[in-house]
A = this chain, B = another copy of it.
């Protein structure tokens, strides 16, 4: 506290000098920062032309470098301004004792963020525009920073996730996906007939280009309290799984209607009984 008070520039000269310096610094930075950002983007773009890297990788690197650049500049700025007022960061950070301890514990989350972020980038666990599930959030990656990852959810919400809460990265944009449809039929239908109908539906889809490994009706998945569940699975191009599942569902519904196969409503068998009580 005392240190701080001593440094307050009570004399007019000091104040004017400090203000002028402050203005100069602010002007310098407000010119330097956007300039640097343009240079980074330009360099990245040029490199991306001469090399044959994936577009998503380029995007990831572009955003990452801008992100790191911003942090470095902001910290240099804060350091410069503070040194203007005679406060140097070094000893403040290195200060042992209670303050240092508290800072050490408090900043530990920050280090975790950076370590996790570093390995996400190094191991290319995700790239910008990948569709992922991280920390319980489904969505498309917008930016992977050293400290924070931005994920745009399906409904348009933008999530800012500190990297340390990202444990398992479930990346849905790596290789083909499976389309899986479970349909229940009522107990009173013939199972073989129903599977036959499903197989005819599948044959049509096997000619569909979106399917890499044509859908197959693989049999009776389960028999539960209300229906006999049949399963159809196939392998489709990445990103088309939902569309394919919707098309399969509609085709099956139509085919079942034609074949007079019932979907499992709430059947109830009624025993009309004499009063016993």
- Residue positions of A touching B, CB distance < 8 A: 1-2, 5, 74-76, 79, 88-90, 93-112, 114-116, 119, 122-123, 125, 133, 135, 137, 145, 147-148, 152-162, 165, 167-172, 174-178, 180, 183-184, 187-188, 191-192, 218-223, 225-228, 235, 238, 241, 243, 246-247, 249-250, 253-254, 260, 262-273, 275-277
B263 pairs with A187, CB closer than 8 A: yes
A191 pairs with B112, CB closer than 8 A: no
Residues from chain B with Cβ under 8 Å of A148 in the complex: 119, 123, 125
A219 pairs with B191, CB closer than 8 A: no
Residue of B nearest to A236 (CB): B156
Instruction: Name A's interface SS.
Output: mixed
B223 pairs with A263, CB closer than 8 A: yes
Closest CB of chain B to A121's CB: distance in Å? 11
Residue of B nearest to A155 (CB): B178
Residues from chain B with Cβ under 8 Å of A137 in the complex: 168, 170
B110 pairs with A115, CB closer than 8 A: yes
A191 pairs with B266, CB closer than 8 A: no
**Within the assembled complex, what's the spacing in Å between the Cα atoms of A171 and B159?**
6
**Within the assembled complex, what's the spacing in Å between the Cα atoms of A188 and B273?**
12
Q: Say which residue of B102, B161, B235, B241 sits within 8 Å of A108 (CB atoms).
A: B102
Residue of B nearest to A169 (CB): B160
Residues from chain B with Cβ under 8 Å of A275 in the complex: 271-273
Known contacts A103-B98, A112-B106: A160-B125 contact under CB 8 Å: yes
Residue of B nearest to A161 (CB): B168
**Within the assembled complex, what's the spacing in Å between the Cα atoms of A135 and B3?**
37
Q: Say which residue of B125, B167, B246 sits within 8 Å of A165 (CB atoms).
A: B167
A159 pairs with B155, CB closer than 8 A: no
**Within the assembled complex, what's the spacing in Å between the Cα atoms of A254 and B152?**
34
Cross-chain pairs A/B with CB under 8 angstroms, 17 sampled? A1-B75, A1-B89, A102-B107, A105-B111, A107-B111, A156-B175, A156-B178, A156-B238, A158-B175, A159-B170, A162-B168, A165-B168, A188-B277, A220-B250, A221-B246, A222-B249, A267-B271
